[in-house]
A and B are shown apart, each in its own frame.
Chain A
Amino acid sequence: MEFGIVELSRLQFAMTAMYHFLFVPLTLGLSIILAIMETVYVMTNRPIWRQMVKFWGTLFGINFVLGVATGITMEFQFGMNWSYYSHYVGDIFGAPLAIEGLMAFFLEATFVGLFFFGWDKLSKQAHLAVTWLVAIGSNFSALWILIANGWMQNPVGAEFNPQTMRMEMTNFFEVLFNEVAQAKFVHTVSAGYVTASVFVIGVSAWYLLKGRHIELSRRSITVAAAFGLASAFSVVLLGDESGYSATHSQKMKLAAMEGMWHTETAPASFTLIGLPDQEARETKYALHIPVVMGLIGTRSLTTDIPGITELVASAEDRIRSGIIAYDALMHIREARDAADPAVMATFEEHSADLGFAFLLRKYIDDPRLATEEQIVAASNDTVPTVWPLFWAFRIMVALGFGFIGTMAYFFWRASFRQMHFPRWSLRLAVVMIPAPWIAAEMGWFVAEFGRQPWTVDGILPTAMSVSALSMTEVAITLAGFVLFYTVLFVIEMGLMLKYIRKGPFQDVEETEAWVKRHQNRLAGRQDADAIAVAAE
């Protein structure tokens, strides 16, 4: 593959997006866990729960700020590196981004300051409300971002306007209730909840292994395991829902993830593992499980799932149809308002395939002059590189099932074994901390790499979306990001580890006194308790 401005811009976007998503899942999940913990505090009035909120809140803050900072990069990048994309789909894609700011990010960012600074300035109930608003704001943010991203995967509610040379919105509600977006939203926030649960359990397990902060850690694990178990089920089931919706909207992505080179007669089998070979269009040493793929993809035993070879053939048809649309577009554009109705009708008929004609831009400026070889080459370009998708998907799914198992185990120990956790399980919990991040990054990789060669599926090829920049400029900013982000990552990890080592440091005396009273109470020494209370 030649390395040009498109590849460099893609590398930059992938790098900054994946870096951004190191911080997002923890923000999504930990904000809810904080709100749950504070709810328990307000209901029971036990100071240990406030200490838990403040301790996990400190770690939340260290993480949150980098999520905010790196999120700005994402917003800037569309205009900076992908200006044709911005022009071409801004009418639809920009709206959810702006609504995210209006409805969600403003809420989250305005109240997060009070979450940290408001403990002495607000009543308990008001502070609890603030914490919930931060959590709700974060999660609504994810909703709107995923509506925007969902539209790139499944561009509904929009059509091409020849006068403005761009896609324009025709139905806002279709964009909003896009089935792909909704499935992705629940899948993504659930992944965030799992991430935060694994993080809370892992850090607490480390304390328990060290014999520190026992009360705080056991309670934290109890909350995180219950929350995490529900979320782990949700992330796997909704991931499956994403697969189901991809069957309608992104057949090529699905086929590539499965290494399904040819249409199988229904119900298709699921390839558990194997070695995909792009050249030969086959998956070697494949281990199949019968029927499963048909069930996941179509929820039926009789519907076929198309394979890559068949999809390439249909892409070739669509390219030919797209060339007709392109030709009509050129006539309409020249005539402006006075276009011939017959040409308009031709355009309407073929406009859905216009994007496929743009795939030829890689080879020739005017798609109408494309040769047969170029059309065949362009249709072959619609196949993403299979093996990374195939493997990334399998790693993600395996980790997903691993989370269900781990969460179920900790939930069982916390609920039915008096919060007693064997040492091996605590060590496992510490080692597992990075796993949800790996799963989340793999998931995004599958979603975005699997959409190639498109930025907006079937509408706008990635190669056409970039800004007219020089390699030097993009290389400078890429180098800047690498340097900058590496330094920030080192600083962030340093602070995270420092504050984890330090442990809870707020409300210490009050909490310890309460813990003592509480243990006495559990030991049945009510009289001692009364003395302790009287002594305060």
Chain B
Amino acid sequence: MILHELMSYELLRVIWWGLLGVLLIGFALTDGFDMGVGALLPFVARTDVERRIAINTVGPVWEGNQVWFILGGGAIFAAWPPLYAVSFSGFYLAMFVILAAFIVRPVAFKYRSKRDDPRWRSSWDWALFASGAVPALLFGVAVGNVIQGVPFHFTDDLHTIYEGAWYMKFIGLLDPFSLLAGLVSLAMLVMHGAAWLTLKAEGPVQIRARAIGSVAALVAVAGYALAGVWLAFGIEGFRIMGDYATGGPSNPLHFEVERTASWLTAYSDRPWIMVAPVMGILGGLLTFLGLRAGREVSTLLVSKMAILGVISSVGLTMFPFIMPSSSDPQSSLTVWNSSSSHLTLFVMLICTAIFMPLILIYTAWVYKVLWGKVTEADVTGNSHSVY
């Protein structure tokens, strides 16, 4: 076990910071349209056949898509254990709500069309709506909180303590900025779901999806721009003070952290990161135009570009911070103090380098097999092997 010394601890940390982004973005690009379709379901599809068309556009792929989320959780656990410990216990009740959504959603997909009873089906349709819309909103809310800093601190033993009463772990998250972030996230995933439905469905489902999706795209762009202005003038940033080691032991208490006037100084330090917000805004506007024009494949691609830009802009702006603490800045989690050990990061990187390309290849193959529209004939004529 000497091989891992070939790569510096610092480099491995930066790579894993990037991979964390890759997983979150992979999740948003794939499971994102599942959630978007769920959130759109009651509005784009009125009759049972229409609903089944919408559901079957994601029917064969949602299971694989959801694994991006599970793998994201696993990778945070393995590569950033303190982040996993702080965020999952700190956002306790919010996590439970997200968890409930992720339990209900698979079941709703799978069980909805297994009985003919209209009440049964409409209950599951609402379950699909809620389990798509609520997590889409809450993921944004969580990001909004992380940007502003989360009230937690570490004890000397590195126990994490979340400040405030228990209900603040839910109610306390819903401040105006975080709600705006939640709105951006929801609008963005609705836009993405609409782009997906435009590609995979036709007729009234597609027409409604395009109409709602183009509004969502504008809301997402406007909300994102507003959040940017808010960040420039209303929200303080964080900075690590003095000399510090980027390859030292992962102990947050070894660092000194202070507040700064704004996160956006990152853009003068590293001007190239401008590319991320530009992609976000441009992607959103192009998705709006694409949905209007009824373009199918290219709309989905620009929608992906928007998501890529928006999510990576958050990470790049905050770097090297991952989860700052508002109540005790010294406890803030950064790339340099909250990773796994040198060896674990290396072992995990080898595994990722082997399996991630395979995953991408076979996932692409599955999407290729399933290429094409889901039509009314597909769901009515073939009701035994579809949802």
Tell me the A residues contacting B by CB distance below 8 Å. 54, 61-62, 65-66, 68-73, 75-76, 78-81, 83-84, 86-87, 90-95, 97-103, 105-107, 109-114, 116-122, 161, 163-166, 168-172, 333, 336, 467-470, 472-473, 476-477, 480, 484, 488, 491, 495, 498-499, 505-506
Contacts and interface: CB of A to CB of B under 8 A. Distances in A.
Interface string B63-84: 1101101110111011101101
B85 A87 contact: yes
| A-B complex: 4 closest residue pairs judged by Cβ atoms | A79-B88, A90-B81, A94-B78, A113-B60
Interface in B344-387: 344, 347-348, 351-352, 355-356, 359, 362-363, 366, 369-370, 382, 384-386
Contact of B81 (A70, A91, A102): A91
Given A110-B362, A169-B347, A172-B343, A97 B77 contact: yes
Contact of B85 (A75, A90, A105, A506): A90
Given A110-B363, A110-B366, A105 B71 contact: yes
A480 B347 CA distance: 37
A468 B89 contact: yes
A506 B99 CA distance: 35
Contact of B88 (A66, A83, A106, A113): A83
Given A76-B99, A90-B77, A170-B343, 11 more contacts: A69-B106, A83-B89, A102-B351, A102-B355, A113-B59, A468-B89, A473-B166, A476-B93, A480-B100, A491-B107, A499-B114
Which of A61, A111, A499 has the most CB atoms of chain B within a 10 A radius of its CB? A111
B245 to A, nearest CB: 10
18 contacts: A69-B106, A72-B69, A72-B103, A75-B70, A83-B88, A86-B84, A98-B71, A105-B71, A113-B366, A113-B370, A117-B386, A120-B382, A168-B344, A169-B343, A172-B1, A467-B160, A477-B92, A488-B103
A73 B61 CA distance: 21
Given A106-B64, A113-B61, A83 B70 contact: no
B85 A86 contact: yes
Contacts of B250: 164
Main secondary structure of the interface of B (DSSP, over half): helix
B262 interface: no
A67 B147 CA distance: 35
Contacts of B109: 65
B134 to A, nearest CB: 14
B156 interface: yes
A170 B1 contact: yes
B89 A117 contact: no
A79 B77 contact: yes
A164 B110 contact: no
Contact of B110 (A61, A75, A477): A61
Given A73-B99, A172-B343, A111 B366 contact: yes
Contact of B106 (A68, A121, A170): A68
Interface residues of B, number: 76
B244 interface: no
Contacts of B157: 165
A118 B62 CA distance: 15
A90 B60 contact: no
Which of A101, A118, A165, A166 has the most CB atoms of chain B within a 10 A radius of its CB? A101
Interface string B244-256: 0000011100100
A111 B366 CA distance: 8
A76 B160 contact: no
B78 A90 contact: yes
Contact of A98 (B77, B158, B169, B363): B77
A119 B313 CA distance: 42
Nearest to A172: B347
A214 B332 CA distance: 66
B340 interface: yes
Nearest to B99: A76
B384 A495 contact: no
Nearest to A117: B60
Contact of B78 (A95, A103, A163, A495): A95
Interface string B81-120: 1101111110011011001101111110111001100000
B280 to A, nearest CB: 28
A164 B251 contact: yes
Given A168-B343, A468-B159, A505-B384, A117 B370 contact: yes
A54 B385 CA distance: 9
Nearest to A80: B88
B33 interface: no
B288 interface: no
Contacts of B82: 87, 90
A501 B366 CA distance: 33
B61 A90 contact: no
B238 interface: no
Contacts of B114: 62, 495, 498-499
Contacts of A61: 110
B162 interface: yes
Contact of A65 (B75, B107, B385): B107
B289 interface: no
A470 to B, nearest CB: 4
Given A107-B362, A172-B343, A476-B93, A87 B370 contact: no
A121 B103 contact: no
B54 to A, nearest CB: 15
B341 interface: yes
A49 to B, nearest CB: 17
B297 interface: no
Nearest to A73: B99
A168 to B, nearest CB: 4
Given A87-B160, A107-B362, A163-B251, A171 B1 contact: yes
B211 interface: no
A86 B77 contact: yes
B229 interface: no
Contacts of A107: 362
A101 B70 contact: yes
A333 B89 contact: no
B161 interface: yes
